[in-house]
Homo-oligomer: A and B are copies of this chain.
């Protein structure tokens, strides 16, 4: 009788082993044994978790033992002691402006733009400048765990080439503006350039071409309408600066009798394809319009503070159901592209302006930098969380630095203690682009050398205006 049971048990074991083996699926990579912060809707955190990746997508996320029993991978990454989370999404940047980092600070907005930034752009911005500046920005961003960025600048076709070569994801908006830009000298030229640019890049797995009318104070109604029409012809996103500083609202009310948001609504500009950077000076009515048209907003606390633009009412925007992401803006007004700094600042700024230490808790801020940032860019089905079916944009963050020890709460640590320099490895679309801080797709020495050379040129071009 005993033997019989033993025999049955043995057969059962064999069958189950065969079943398990049959269920075991092949994937490309398993990132295992990290603290997996999914940012899924239930905010699952797996203390000993794993992520399975095939091609450019996530196949499964869960407890490490479960994932490792269901999948086998050619490549295995041990994330022991590290946080594994979705790559950060920088919702608003001008990457190439990294070459102007610290060029002219602590000035009035008018002096800063008219005496330094605009002349420096007019005299220096070429396709080559944009390529090296963008590489510098991407190098900094990837090193800080940013896997997607939204860009607004000139020569975006060059920006796209560089971004693609770096293996980074980008929503790259070509600028429309009512004065001659470094790349295009008139709106018809901007339309022609951008249409060709969109046709070239649409459908690319990493690059989303976009149309970026600069703002309502630099674009006529006609230009805004032309930009929106072009974007909607091709179903590509629209990026714009909105209600950044008080003067914009004053001008809009004087000219159109409407707030900037209401004016954009009145010309049919707002829609679920629009991402608006800043949204500092928005009232309750504006928030309702933004929410009802599913416009995404991107908060840029460093830039808003440094340029004295104001403090965006983020807590109210979120309460009004506006998807709110987080951005760095350009290095000329920040002066770096560091989402850890923006997270820390976003949380602290809301507490201060609301005089409430409970305002914008850490978990919400991490959401702004990930899944809600994806929502603000209308890309939440592709990026922003670690879930099966999402693109495999995954970062690994060391937790053993003195400034990050001990750790009681992972969201607190991400927002208030961890730094860009703690990011250890970065994967974009299933491809490793940084491994233990070694860059795999960029040549840092060449980028820094070109940055130094361009800085000399920029200084010389401004002559005596620079101290």
Binding site for B on A (CB under 8 A): 99, 101-109, 112, 136, 139-140, 143-144, 302, 304-308, 310-311, 331, 334-338, 341, 344-345, 347-349, 351-352, 354-362, 400, 402-409, 412-413, 416-417, 419-421, 444, 447-448, 451-452, 454-455, 458-459, 466-467
Contact = CB atoms under 8 A, between A and B. Distances in A.
Contacts of A416: 102, 105, 306, 334-336
A70 B406 CA distance: 48
15 contacts: A101-B417, A102-B406, A102-B409, A105-B412, A106-B361, A136-B402, A143-B402, A302-B348, A304-B352, A305-B348, A306-B416, A335-B416, A336-B416, A341-B344, A407-B455
Chain copies in the assembled complex: 2
B403 A102 contact: no
A318 to B, nearest CB: 14
Interface of A, helix, strand, loop or mixed by DSSP: helix
Given A311-B352, A345-B348, A405-B451, 16 more contacts: A101-B407, A101-B417, A105-B416, A106-B357, A108-B357, A140-B403, A143-B403, A305-B348, A307-B351, A308-B356, A308-B357, A308-B359, A310-B352, A336-B404, A345-B345, A406-B455
Contacts of A308: 351-352, 354-357, 359
B361 A105 contact: yes
A351 B336 CA distance: 17
A99 B408 CA distance: 10
Contact of A466 (B307, B336, B361, B408): B408
Contacts of A419: 419-421
Contacts of A101: 404-408, 417
Contact of A402 (B104, B362, B444): B444
A348 B308 CA distance: 8
Contacts of A413: 102, 335
B402 A140 contact: yes
Given A310-B352, A416-B336, A419-B421, A112 B357 contact: yes
In the complex, which of the residues A143, A347, A352 has the most CB atoms of chain B within 10 Å of its own CB atom? A352
A103 to B, nearest CB: 5
Contacts of A106: 347, 357-358, 360-362, 412
A349 B308 CA distance: 9
Contact of A412 (B335, B351, B362): B335
A402 B448 contact: yes
A403 B444 CA distance: 12
A102 B407 contact: yes
Contacts of A403: 140, 143-144, 336-338, 420
Contacts of A444: 402
Contacts of A348: 302, 305-306, 345
Contacts of A331: 417
A131 to B, nearest CB: 15
A341 B336 CA distance: 12
B455 A352 contact: no
Contacts of A112: 357
